[in-house]
Amino acid sequence: IRDWGTNFLMGLTQLPQGCVHSGFHMAITSLWKELKVVLLQFWRESPRGRIYVTGHSQGAALAIMATLLLLQEDWHPSPIYL
């Protein structure tokens, strides 16, 4: 039910890369700090490890936005498939 609430926040949020669904933006920003800590810990422990950012439906939207946030912070995950 919480996901449907996110879907109904239908406004747009302006980002440097363009406009995004406000509900999806709110969802990714609400978990980004915690996710970033986990990613940094993984990279420190496994510097050659790979992280796959993927999802379906709302998860796909959040995966794309997470990838944009990684790029904004100059992390450059490689390769990137969208």
Q: Cα separation of 6 and 4, whole Å? A: 5
Do residues 13 and 25 touch, judged by C-beta distance below 8 A? yes
Q: Cα separation of 74 and 54, whole Å? A: 19
pTM over 0.75: no
Express each pLDDT in 14-62 by its tens digit. 988 889 888 899 999 999 999 989 988 988 898 787 878 888 988 999 9
Express each pLDDT in 68-78 by its tens digit. 888 888 776 66
pLDDT score recorded for residue 82? 61
pLDDT at 9 over 80: no
Do residues 74 and 68 touch, judged by C-beta distance below 8 A? no
pLDDT score recorded for residue 80? 64
